[in-house]
């Protein structure tokens, strides 16, 4: 499968070399067999043989800054706040919803999710939900650590409120009573007042969390020499979530600018320092109505984030604010401002972090686009999988812009398995290449029936890869497992993993993910390589929403150009479908792949 996935993406000579390396690796009694045996032993002794390898490889070993490069954001609908107080009421209501949701998590009340779409109806692992509010990504010099607090721990009875780059502790339990919404609002009002007091203002320490992971870890080592800083860091580490009360950004409030503000806060001159990027759940409530969440990604996937935020959105619109009080105002202690000890050296570190964040802000090229010609219902009517269709359209757009296909990542949920996260659907299939060539070849004009056949081939290949990946038969996690176990047994890295094809095949120039929502909001994230695109899409019944990102620094990419090509391709694909009906039923191939892959692992 690996060879098939890369053959059409590399030069012939390189492919021949890779093929011989792979064949040697797979020889009976060879390295592959030995590593597979070790991996099977590991699988016998762990719930999920790939989980730790995957977490390290995907997140904890990565050294790039969290904003843009790693943390996804969920952008809420723009809110129309009448005044500043209105935004605080919204924040208090949101926090009340968070507490209600957290309670459901702690009491194990959340109903088990079942898969939808392909192979619908299988129960899914719920573990990611139990890591929404009790985790923290601690920076390390070489590798970060995902800290997991015990669920329902009494240490976790506060949230951190960020306001004007200051951080405040909002205790949620006072004299053994849980604060009610009115109490929370009162506390938020006090926080805003305290933040306005410029005499007590602390330096913008949140900036350090926006830096590269090694840089932040080095800075943290300096900070913790002082007990005041140590104490502030420890309190943040244990909070349930961060709520960022943002000043108006001054930007025009469209989809793209709201997405930018969620991903990086607009840099240190805007809201970029009013964040603590290590904390997995960070809510933003802007006075100008720009609201959403920005998340540290290592504990959970976008789909779990959607479930949580949709619950909150429904809570916000469905249940009126209950402005009762648990505690009399006089009993409410003043929220505590977190203090920092700074030195000229630390000031220098803050300045360097601010500059690096600014570079990231300037570099991000973002385009949030609503394709309104049709949505997933049209695609379903063609008897095609909407997800596969959109993936093929992305390949067509990339080919139009670059004249080639590249290694592509599409996240496939493997929550059918205990502790399952994702594997990769490699969407740049040979069939996709044949289709995009048929659609774009100027010299030989292909007939519509030829193009339609190629479209069906591409859709079927994509659907089959999806089914393989979600049932644990993807190749990326398996190869990662073989690679990592070779290190565990102190073997020299096998050639298959140092080969330039393997290295290139893991540089995902196109990094894509479907994050569908049922209420009005959308997800976005940045590219994973400097010359790449990040594409998060949200298929709706009558339209498709794309959040496209790339970097201005690359001369090979442009989000606007890509979106234009995508628009054109989607219209051409619709015209083709309208002209030609499906030539034959191809679902047999997909069903066969399902049968083959079922029972492939320990089902949840
Ligand atoms: N004809 C008609 N309808 C079809 C069809 C066909 N041939 N194939 C699929 N459909 C329907 C499905 O029944 C489904 O219907 P619904 O809207 O009523 O539920 C709908 O089309 C969507 O199915 P499809 O487009 O095939 O996609 P999917 O929902 O199976 O999703 C993945 C595919 C890969 C996106 C999904 O399995 C997955 O893994 N999602 C998680 C991704 C993730 O983790 N993202 C976050 C990363 S941070």
Q: How far is CA 107 from the centre of its chain?
A: 27
Locate tokens 């070399």: which residue?
Answer: 17
Could you confirm whether 8 is annotated as catalytic?
A: no
483 falls within a domain = yes
507 falls within a domain = yes
In short, whether 303's Cβ falls inside 6 Å of ligand 1 is yes
Q: pTM here? A: 0.94
pLDDT confidence of 581, banded at 50, 70, 90? low
> pLDDT at residue 583 above 60?
no
Mean pLDDT score of the chain: 94
Over residues 14-62, the pLDDT tens digits come to: 999 999 999 999 999 999 999 999 999 999 999 999 999 999 999 999 9
With H, G, I as helix, E, B as strand and everything else as coil, classify residue 533: strand
pLDDT of residue 152: 64
In short, whether 422's Cβ falls inside 6 Å of ligand 1 is yes
pLDDT of residue 38: 98
Over residues 187-239, the pLDDT tens digits come to: 999 999 999 999 999 999 999 999 999 999 999 999 999 999 999 999 999 99
Domain that holds residue 246: 66-363
Q: Are residues 100 and 239 in the same domain?
A: yes
370 falls within a domain = yes
Over residues 354-384, the pLDDT tens digits come to: 999 999 999 999 999 999 999 999 999 999 9
Ligand 1, pocket-test mutation among 54, 115, 514, most atoms within 8 A of CB: 514
In short, whether 462's Cβ falls inside 6 Å of ligand 1 is no
Q: Are residues 290 and 309 in the same domain?
A: yes
Q: How far is the CA of 385 from the centre of ligand 1 (A)?
A: 7
60 falls within a domain = no
> What is d(CA 241, CA 223) in angstroms, rounded to the nearest whole number?
22
301 falls within a domain = yes
Q: Are residues 378 and 415 in the same domain?
A: yes
598 falls within a domain = no
488 falls within a domain = yes
pLDDT of residue 45: 95
Contacts of 334 (CB under 8 A, 6+ apart): 190, 194
7 falls within a domain = yes
> pLDDT at residue 590 above 90?
no
> pLDDT at residue 600 above 60?
no
Q: Are residues 385 and 359 in the same domain?
A: no
Q: How far is the CA of 23 from the centre of ligand 1 (A)?
A: 35
Q: Are residues 234 and 269 in the same domain?
A: yes
Over residues 256-266, the pLDDT tens digits come to: 999 999 999 99
> What is d(CA 57, CA 219) in angstroms, rounded to the nearest whole number?
23
Q: Are residues 72 and 126 in the same domain?
A: yes
Length of the chain: 604
CATH number at residue 322: 3.30.559.70
Over residues 376-409, the pLDDT tens digits come to: 999 999 999 999 999 999 999 999 999 999 999 9
The protein residue with its alpha carbon nearest to ligand 1, atom 41, reads 413
Average pLDDT over residues 546-568: 98
Over residues 443-475, the pLDDT tens digits come to: 778 899 999 999 999 999 999 999 999 999 999
CATH number at residue 434: 3.30.559.10
Q: Are residues 401 and 523 in the same domain?
A: yes
pLDDT of residue 155: 67
Over residues 95-133, the pLDDT tens digits come to: 999 999 999 999 999 999 999 999 999 999 999 999 999
**Tally of structural domains, the chain:** 2
Contact at 8 Å (CB) between 333 and 194?
no
Over residues 300-347, the pLDDT tens digits come to: 999 999 999 999 999 998 877 777 677 777 789 999 999 999 999 999
Nearest-atom number in ligand 1 for the CA of 425 is 34
Q: Are residues 471 and 561 in the same domain?
A: yes
Q: Are residues 71 and 50 in the same domain?
A: no
Q: How far is the CA of 514 from the centre of ligand 1 (A)?
A: 9
Nearest-atom number in ligand 1 for the CA of 414 is 39
In short, whether 118's Cβ falls inside 6 Å of ligand 1 is yes
> What is d(CA 61, CA 209) in angstroms, rounded to the nearest whole number?
16
Q: How far is the CA of 570 from the centre of ligand 1 (A)?
A: 18
In short, whether 534's Cβ falls inside 6 Å of ligand 1 is no
Nearest to 125 by CA among 400, 396, 414: 414
> What is d(CA 337, CA 202) in angstroms, rounded to the nearest whole number?
9
Structure tokens at 371: 């394709």
Q: How far is the CA of 413 from the centre of ligand 1 (A)?
A: 11
Q: Are residues 359 and 369 in the same domain?
A: no
Nearest-atom number in ligand 1 for the CA of 116 is 19
| Domain stop point among 319, 345, 363 | 363
User: E-strand spans in 288-433?
Assistant: 291-294, 336-337, 364-371, 408-413, 422-425
Q: Determine which helix (DSSP H) or strand (DSSP E) holds 163, and give its type and residue range.
A: strand 158-163
> pLDDT at residue 153 above 70?
no
Given 297, 369, 490, 552, which residue is catalytic? Answer: 297
Q: How far is the CA of 573 from the centre of ligand 1 (A)?
A: 19
pLDDT of residue 412: 98
| Domain stop point among 314, 339, 363 | 363
> pLDDT at residue 136 above 70?
yes
Q: What torsion do the CA atoms of 246, 252, 257, 261 make, to the nearest 10 degrees?
A: -10
Q: Three-state secondary structure along 286-327? A: ECCCCEEEECCCCCCCHHHHHHHHHHHHHHHHHCCCCCCCCC
Nearest to 262 by CA among 86, 536, 525, 552: 525
In short, whether 380's Cβ falls inside 6 Å of ligand 1 is yes
pLDDT confidence of 503, banded at 50, 70, 90? very high
pLDDT of residue 154: 66
Q: Are residues 151 and 237 in the same domain?
A: yes
> pLDDT at residue 601 above 80?
no
Q: Are residues 116 and 166 in the same domain?
A: yes
> pLDDT at residue 162 above 60?
yes
């Amino acid at each position: 499968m690996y060879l098939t996935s890369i053959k059409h993406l590399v030069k012939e000579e390189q492919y021949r070399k890779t093929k011989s390396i792979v064949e040697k690796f797979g020889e009976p009694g060879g390295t592959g067999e030995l590593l597979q045996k070790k991996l099977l032993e590991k699988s016998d002794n762990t719930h999920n043989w790939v989980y730790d390898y995957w977490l390290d490889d995907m997140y904890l070993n990565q050294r790039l800054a969290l904003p843009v490069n790693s943390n996804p954001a969920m952008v809420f609908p723009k809110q129309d706040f009448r005044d500043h107080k209105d935004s605080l009421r919204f924040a208090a209501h949101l926090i009340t919803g968070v507490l209600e949701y957290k309670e459901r998590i702690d009491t194990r009340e959340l109903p088990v999710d079942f898969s939808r779409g392909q192979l619908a109806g299988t129960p899914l692992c719920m573990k990611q939900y139990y890591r929404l509010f009790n985790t923290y990504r601690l920076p390390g010099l070489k590798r970060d650590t995902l800290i997991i607090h015990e669920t329902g721990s009494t240490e976790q009875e506060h949230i951190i409120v960020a306001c004007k780059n200051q951080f405040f502790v909002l205790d949620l339990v006072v004299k053994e009573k849980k604060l009610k919404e009115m109490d929370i609002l009162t506390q938020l009002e006090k926080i805003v007042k305290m933040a306005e007091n410029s005499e007590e203002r602390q330096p913008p320490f949140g900036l350090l969390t926006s830096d590269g992971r090694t840089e932040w870890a080095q800075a943290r080592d300096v900070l913790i020499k002082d007990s005041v800083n140590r104490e502030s860091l420890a309190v943040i580490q244990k909070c349930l979530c961060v709520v960022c009360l943002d000043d108006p950004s001054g930007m025009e409030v469209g989809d793209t600018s709201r997405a930018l503000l969620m991903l990086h806060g607009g840099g240190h001159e805007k809201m970029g320092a009013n964040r603590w990027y290590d904390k997995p759940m960070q809510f933003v409530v802007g006075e100008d109505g720009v609201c959403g969440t920005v998340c540290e990604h290592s504990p959970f996937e976008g789909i779990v984030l959607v479930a949580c935020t949709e619950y909150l959105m429904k809570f916000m619109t469905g249940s009126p604010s209950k402005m009762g009080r648990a505690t009399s105002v006089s009993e409410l202690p003043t929220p505590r401002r977190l203090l920092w000890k700074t030195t000229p050296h630390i000031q220098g570190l803050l300045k360097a972090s601010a500059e690096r964040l600014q570079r990231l802000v300037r570099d991000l090229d973002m385009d949030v686009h609503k394709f309104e010609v049709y949505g997933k219902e049209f695609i379903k009517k063609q008897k095609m999988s909407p997800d596969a269709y959109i993936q093929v359209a992305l390949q067509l757009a990339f080919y139009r812009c670059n004249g080639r296909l590249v290694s592509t990542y599409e996240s496939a949920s493997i929550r059918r398995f205990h502790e399952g996260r994702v594997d990769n659907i490699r969407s740049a299939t040979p069939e996709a290449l044949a289709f995009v060539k048929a659609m774009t070849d100027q010299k030989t004009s292909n007939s519509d029936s030829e193009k339609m056949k190629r479209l069906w081939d591409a859709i079927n290949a994509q659907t089959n890869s999806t089914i393989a990946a979600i049932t644990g038969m993807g190749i990326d996690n398996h190869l990662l497992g073989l690679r990592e176990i070779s290190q565990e047994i102190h073997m020299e890295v096998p050639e298959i993993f140092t080969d330039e094809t393997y290295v290139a095949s893991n540089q995902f120039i196109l990094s894509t993910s479907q994050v569908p929502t049922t209420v009005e909001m959308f997800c976005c994230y940045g590219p994973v390589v400097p010359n790449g695109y990040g594409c998060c899409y949200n298929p709706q019944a009558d339209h498709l929403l794309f959040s496209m990102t790339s970097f201005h620094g690359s001369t090979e990419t442009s989000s606007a150009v890509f979106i234009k090509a995508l628009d054109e391709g989607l219209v051409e694909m619709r015209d083709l479908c309208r002209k030609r009906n499906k030539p034959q039923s191809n679902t047999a191939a997909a069903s066969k792949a399902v049968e083959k892959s079922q029972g492939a692992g320990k089902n949840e």
